[in-house]
Structure 1
Amino acid sequence: MNGAWTQAGCRIRFDWGPVGADAVGPGAALVAVVDVLSFTTALTVAVERGIAVMPYRWRDDSAGRVAREHDAVLAVGREQVERPGQVSLSPDSILRSSGIERLVLPSPNGATISARLAEAGATVVGVSLRNADAAAASIVRRLGAGDAVAVVAAGERWPDGSLRPAVEDLWGAGALIEALVRRGAGDLSVEAGTALAAYRSVADDLATALRACASGRELHAHGFPEDVAVATRPVADPAVPVLTDGWFVADSPSF
């Protein structure tokens, strides 16, 4: 790995996608993964409801087997919902669910990056626009002197499988970085400063910007406008999901 790509020497680092996570994650005390539409929003909603979430790379036959082995519910794709109450990657479907204790949540972006980082030994925090401030408080609480935090925007995929930088993830990363700076965790890389500036450019009307961005328009066109609304809806007590022994669970003071 090219040393310049790691943003070493900066306390707050930022990059995109799985390869960006490989670059800025090593050496960081914590890695925040941001996938606003919709993995980390769905994740935050689930953990707010007391559901433990396993991030899974792909929605294939193995995902069903893993869910059965762990007595968990498998989230299906949004378009695969066949009955009322079935849970999918849609945050709104999780909000309306009941009786779930464990959820296997596949996603080619946020879940894949989270699992990849955990396999490399990183401490992973799930961050969305709903919980950015709470996540920053949690991260600052456990940062030691000289510790760094890496922020990874998951992004989306073009039809050919390549990374599509998704502006909502840039804003989510910037929201977290602003909250970190507010709490005194400064020393941003140029890349992290760019994410912060992007967030500040839309912060006064974030809900409108989210509806108007490409991913927001796509979800509206496919009949999931509520998933966009859930992503920016204020929460009285947002959860901070921390990946522990393969499952995202709510942060605790003893962590």
Structure 2
Amino acid sequence: MYTQQPYRCRFDWGRRGTHMAAARGDILVIVDTLSFATAAVTAVQHGGIIYPYPIHEDDPALFARSIGAEVAVNRHEVPSRGRFSLSPSTLQQIEPGTRVVLPSPNGATCSRYARQVPYLFVGCLVNAQASANAISSLLEQHDLNVTVIACGERWQTPSEDGELRVAIEDYLGAGAILSYLAHEKSPEAEVCAGAFIHTQNRIASLIWNCGSGRELRAKGFADDVHAASQLNRYNTVPFMKDDHLAPWP
């Protein structure tokens, strides 16, 4: 049977990895660098209240109205249809206390497992050190393990290998968090951390030139790629509190 026991710090991919970690009762860290996690961290850093919303569920606008929130729209629909999107820049000027429903096919979808785990955090490059600090404190206080999830992207046309598309920006974001953790790592987590340690001086260039980065730049959102690569820019760690993301104490 596949397992990363007995190691306390583990790494896995996508929705399946999230489901397996939740079934074990691990602390979960959701890493979706381009761009759910970066957007969520940016919003919470500036006082926003984020409601992750799986993109294939019911109309997010209906949910937003039911809780008195605004719904984030597609990047190219700002400002014609709304103020906020997955572009971190749209969330930098958010008014404290503003509620935003943030749909996403990857990070928000993985976040739906929050009610099955003791703690769920959202982390990435921009808050890697802060995320690790929060996790380390919990590992010291409780007999818990942590799984850091690289959400990955999705192929538009799934193949025999499924729809998960490996995304190095998520791998490096997960590796950054894992590299700051002193607790024993599984081989999978150790290699992930090593990838970040080996390349940390070139992180911005790697994110800029990776497949996902080039894809986003081609759509006109180069600023989003730049924002996501700013290592340890923020000290806020969003965690799931009931149905929304709030700053970790």
Mapping for residues 151-162 of structure 1, pairs under 5 Å = 151-161=148-158, 162=163
Task: Judge conservation of contact 1:30–1:123 (CA < 8 Å) in 2.
Answer: yes
Does structure 1 residue 139 correspond to structure 2 residue 135? yes
Does structure 1 residue 219 correspond to structure 2 residue 210? no
Of 193-202 and 162-171, the range deviating more from structure 2: 193-202
Residue 8 of structure 1, CA deviation: 2.2
Q: Distance in 1 between matches of 2:212 and 2:97?
A: 28
Q: Distance in 2 between matches of 1:112 and 1:172?
A: 18
**Partner of residue 68, structure 1:** 65
Question: Aligned to 1:26, what secondary structure does the other structure show?
Answer: helix
**Partner of residue 163, structure 1:** 164
Q: Distance in 1 between matches of 2:28 and 2:133?
A: 14
**Partner of residue 74, structure 2:** 77
Q: Distance in 1 between matches of 2:94 and 2:39?
A: 12
**Partner of residue 177, structure 2:** 176
**Partner of residue 106, structure 2:** 109
2:38 to 8, 33, 41: 41
CA root-mean-square deviation = 1.9
Question: Aligned to 2:11, what secondary structure does the other structure show?
Answer: strand
Residue 119 of structure 1, CA deviation: 3.8
Question: Aligned to 1:25, what secondary structure does the other structure show?
Answer: helix
Task: Judge conservation of contact 2:26–2:117 (CA < 8 Å) in 1.
Answer: no
Change (3 A) 1:155 1:101: same
Change (3 A) 1:234 1:24: closer
Task: Judge conservation of contact 2:37–2:122 (CA < 8 Å) in 1.
Answer: yes
Of 119-128 and 216-225, the range deviating more from structure 2: 119-128
Change (3 A) 1:127 1:99: closer
AA matched with 2:129: D
Of 222-231 and 75-84, the range deviating more from structure 2: 75-84
TM-score (norm 1): 0.89
Task: Judge conservation of contact 2:124–2:173 (CA < 8 Å) in 1.
Answer: yes
Task: Judge conservation of contact 2:47–2:95 (CA < 8 Å) in 1.
Answer: no
AA matched with 1:114: S
**Partner of residue 10, structure 1:** 7
Question: Aligned to 1:139, what secondary structure does the other structure show?
Answer: helix
**Where do 5+ consecutive residues of structure 1 fail to align?**
none
1:41-64 CA distance string (max 9 Å, x none):
000000001111111001665211
User: How many correspondences in the alignment?
Assistant: 244
Q: Distance in 1 between matches of 2:144 and 2:222?
A: 39
Q: Distance in 2 between matches of 1:206 and 1:72?
A: 35
Q: Distance in 1 between matches of 2:175 and 2:25?
A: 18
Task: Judge conservation of contact 1:85–1:96 (CA < 8 Å) in 2.
Answer: no
Q: Distance in 2 between matches of 1:77 and 1:84?
A: 9
**Where do 5+ consecutive residues of structure 2 fail to align?**
none
1:186-215 CA distance string (max 9 Å, x none):
x21111112112212320121111101111
